[in-house]
Amino acid sequence: MKYLELGLNKIALMGGQKEEENLDLRIFLKGQETEKVDEIVHQLDIEIKSQIDCQKCGNCCKSLLPGVTNEEIENLSRIVECTKSNFEDYFVETNIDENVKYLKDTPCKFLKDKSCTIYEDRPADCRSYPHTHKPNFTSRTFVMIDNYSICPIVFNLFEGLKTALGYRYFRGRNY
């Protein structure tokens, strides 16, 4: 694996600078075989994750609102020693349109310095982040583009995917 970019400020800056390019990549990926893209993405995911310790970053915990289930809310309420109802009132937001509950507020209340204080008990959405190991990468590229400027794994995976597929950006290209 080549050099990995880990600088969060640089990743955020590049995310803004490369937004148009990444949107173009999204269109490019739609023309590729899903299985081939997934194979490359999953290989990159393994290589990149083996070199990055999320517990030393915590940027996702500063920026994102993870989804939580009722069971996770119950577990988290026990951790902070309050009732489930009180925990929901203070720490959970419900998106009625999507019927999804999220931990509200950033940074996450469980983040201390750059580490999760409930790492072993964190919600499944947090465990699974940045979701680069999941199938059908090409159907989730909008979310990945959002995460490009937040997560070093996503940033480096996107850049590695561009190289692996021989993708070249040309401003104003029409497919």
Render each residue's pLDDT in the chain as its tens digit; 175 residues: 578 999 999 999 999 999 999 999 999 999 999 999 999 999 999 999 999 999 889 999 999 999 999 999 999 999 999 999 999 999 999 998 888 999 999 999 999 998 999 999 999 999 999 999 999 999 999 999 999 999 999 999 999 999 999 999 987 665 5
CA atoms within 13 A on the CB side of 24: 14
**What is the structure's pLDDT at 65?**
95
CA–CA distance, 37 with 32 (Å, rounded to integer): 7
CA–CA distance, 69 with 28 (Å, rounded to integer): 35
Total-model pTM: 0.91
Cα angle: 154, vertex 155, 158; to 5 degrees: 80
Domain positions in the chain are: 8-59+130-164, 65-128
**What is the structure's pLDDT at 57?**
93
Q: Is 9 helix (H, G, I), strand (E, B) or coil?
A: helix
**What is the structure's pLDDT at 172?**
65
Measure CA 112 to chain center.
Answer: 19
